[in-house]
Structure 1
Amino acid sequence: MPLPERLVVFAHGKESGPWGTKITRLAEVAKRCGYAVISPDYSHSHDPHQRLRELHALAPQAVQSLVLAGSSMGGYVSAMACAQLRPQALFLMAPALYFPGWDEEPEGIPALASVVHGWRDDIVPVERGLRFAQRHRAALHLLDSDHGLNDQLDTLSLLFEQLLLRAAKTDTP
């Protein structure tokens, strides 16, 4: 099967599935922007390291732009996969970073990275998103929302579309 020109790889959160509300909505945005989309099902494991191994084994590639996007534990998986997969862009929603046992600093973060976090997140403290954004000079968007960010789908869609359009502009022939 030929590689897609542009590809978005989603990673869902610990308690959700590969085609939850946010991913389904953002996949529509990605397709409109000319990206192929995959969203592996990690629901059989709550171990972030196992999920990361599965993403590495999948070894997603694109001819021009690979974009990783993750929510909560999927944010951890997406961020940690950057060192090996070398995406052109990274989109994190309430990323579950810096928890004991899985608190290593992600490496290989692309220059085009964006973090969206809810001020009222009671699962992943907003300080985790701020810490990542500060260390990696990522765009940071703090919204009046909770961990799920499902009441901010329009804003998430706009932010994701902006990132995808910027990633497409950095395509290398």
Structure 2
Amino acid sequence: MKYLRKLVIGATCLVSMAASAQWQWTDKDGRKVYSDRAPPSDILDKNILKRPAGRVNPLVTNEASLNAASPVAAASSPHGSASAPKLSGVDKELAEKKKKAEEAEVAKRKAEEERVAKSKIENCARAKQAKTNFDSGIRIARTNEKGEREIMDDATRSAEAKRIQFIIDSDCK
């Protein structure tokens, strides 16, 4: 009989421990849900009523009951502790990294714009020099794909003059 009594007491302890390892929350329809697994991620923290090991969500309980329970609970209260750091909601380290990344992006963009501007200035100077050579009327020779030297005819010379003028118009502003 004593053995049976110990078995019943042990089983009762196991059942109560299993019951304390359950989650309890209110779902989106307002129904209480009990489970041995954590609630889905779409359940807000304020809707979780009970956590495993009998820990109750501190947002659901009131501050007076926590302070009356024990000095340890009062010290860990999110509302009453003066020594607890107050979070502003902004991670300063992350904000600093973001600011540095933005500054680096601006510097990179500025360097690229300077490189393009320098390239346009060089192209403009070359185009003006070529225009001067074409306008002088002297014969101009080119090397073809075979490596032979050819004198430009009037049609090729006219097309090249138009191309040079287009470069001057676009890069010499």
Could you say which structure has the higher strand fraction? 1
- Larger RCO (alpha carbons 8 Å, 6+ apart): 1
Q: Please say which structure displays the higher CA radius of gyration.
A: 2
